[in-house]
């Protein structure tokens, strides 16, 4: 008996099968090597909270937050701050793992941001308060100015005009929140809403108390002053709305992409040629007009405080534009053309 020799075709078939198996094992091995291992530590205690195995290299920080949430359900994604360094800045949700300065075994740090609340809810709460509070003083409810003046009406036309302008401003803000604004960040810390509401509601009550007071005196220059102030107020309200619409159109629905805002065919948007945040410029202008209209010290103080805060926000956004866009227009200033 002699062993039957293999044909050349059989040899080639066996050899080809072995090569295919080897290539498949190599492909699987290379795929495993391309995956990342991610350990997430507590930023304060450095304690390991979770370990994620075989994370895709193109996984975003937002997706890693979702994976982390599955292991720690009390920390939903909006509550998480994921960082490269315990005291560093939070990574953006859209950042990709393989583009970060980490190896295939990545160490990230987690910080709890606390309970969060949606920005839509925040704005609706902040703006509905002043609208309702002002009307309480305008209609002079009995517990405000006493029974003698309960439900009485001011004899000065500027008082009624001021109520219309104030109500228009906050109704506009509420409608913009619902139908215009697109938020790059979905939430803010829940505790901040108390601070924000104290500011808006408190100032609304203070200036409404004085404007609607029975002893209120109209502006020194009468109807001429009121008409000029009304023109400033309406002009700036239209400008503010135009900027909000332009910023909305700059960002597609569901996108967090950042682009340089430029003027459109709407003349109110031409202020983008000179400032980075013309919405704040117009907002301050509206309150300057309202201050001139009412000639009321609390309104002037509210305008001043609001300007300081908006100047801080505008400076932050301006610096962010300069950092993110090398071709950002050099002529622009944050909020006041050529000055600030």
Predicted local distance difference test score (pLDDT) of residue 3? 53
Q: Identify the CA nearest to 303 among candidates 293, 315, 290, 316.
A: 290
Question: pLDDT at position 291, please?
Answer: 98
Asked whether the beta carbons of 281 and 302 are under 8 A apart, the reply is no
pLDDT at 16: 59
Q: Helix axis angle, 157-179 relative to 119-138, nearest 10°?
A: 170
Helices (H), 251-296: 278-294
Q: What is the largest CA-CA distance in the chain?
A: 128
Tell me the C-alpha distance between 262 and 269, whole Å: 8
| pTM of full prediction above 0.75 | yes
How many Å separate Cα 192 from the centre of its chain? 14
Q: Which residues pair with 333 in a beta bridge?
A: 275
**Apex CA 122: angle with CA 197 and CA 317, to 5°?**
95
Work out the percent of the chain whose per-residue pLDDT is above 90: 67
Mean pLDDT of 55-71: 91
User: Tokens 């239209």 identify what position?
Assistant: 238
CA distances 125 to 94, 128, 170, 274, Å, are 29, 5, 11, 33
- Kindly tell me if the per-residue pLDDT of 2 is higher than 70: no
pLDDT of residue 9: 53
Q: Count Cα neighbours of 265 within 13 Å in the Cβ-side half-sphere.
A: 0
Residue 31 has a pLDDT of 46
For the stretch 200-212, pLDDT in tens is 999 999 999 999 9
Q: Is the dihedral angle over the CA atoms 67, 73, 74, 78 positive or is it negative?
A: positive
For CA atoms 302, 305, 309, 310, the dihedral sign is positive
**Pick from 273, 93, 69, 310: nearest CA to 183:** 93
Domains along the chain with CATH numbers: 36-114 (3.10.20.90), 117-217 (no CATH), 219-339 (no CATH)
Say what the pLDDT of residue 161 is.
98
């Amino acid at each position: 008996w002699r062993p039957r020799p293999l044909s050349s075709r059989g040899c080639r078939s066996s050899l080809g099968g072995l090569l295919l198996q080897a290539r498949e094992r190599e492909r699987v091995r290379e795929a495993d090597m391309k995956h990342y291992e991610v350990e997430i530590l507590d930023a304060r205690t450095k304690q390991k909270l979770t370990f994620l195995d075989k994370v895709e290299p193109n996984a975003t920080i937002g997706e890693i937050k979702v994976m982390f949430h599955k292991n720690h359900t009390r920390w939903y994604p909006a509550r998480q701050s994921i960082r490269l360094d315990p005291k560093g800045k939070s990574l953006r949700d859209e950042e990709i793992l393989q583009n970060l300065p980490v190896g295939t075994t990545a160490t990230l740090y987690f910080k709890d941001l606390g309970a969060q609340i949606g920005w839509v809810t925040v704005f609706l709460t902040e703006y509905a308060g002043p609208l309702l509070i002002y009307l309480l003083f305008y209609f002079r409810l009995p517990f405000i100015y006493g029974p003698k003046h309960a439900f009485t009406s001011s004899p000065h036309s500027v008082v009624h005009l001021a109520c219309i302008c104030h109500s228009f401003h906050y109704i506009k803000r509420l409608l913009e929140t619902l139908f215009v604004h697109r938020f790059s960040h979905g939430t803010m810390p829940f505790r901040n809403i108390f601070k924000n509401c104290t500011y808006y509601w408190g100032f609304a009550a203070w200036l409404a108390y004085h404007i609607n007071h029975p002893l209120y005196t109209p502006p020194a220059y009468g109807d001429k002053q009121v008409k000029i102030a009304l023109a400033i107020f309406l002009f700036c309200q239209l400008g503010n709305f135009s900027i909000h619409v332009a910023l909305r159109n700059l960002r597609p629905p569901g996108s967090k992409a950042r682009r340089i805002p430029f003027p459109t065919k709407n003349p109110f948007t031409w202020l983008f040629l000179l400032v980075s945040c013309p919405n704040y410029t117009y907002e301050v202008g509206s309150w300057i007009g309202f201050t001139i209209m009412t000639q009321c010290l609390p309104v002037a103080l509210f305008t001043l405080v609001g300007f300081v805060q908006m100047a801080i926000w505008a400076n932050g956004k301006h610096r962010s534009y300069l950092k993110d866009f090398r071709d950002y227009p050099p002529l622009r200033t944050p909020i006041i053309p050529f000055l600030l």
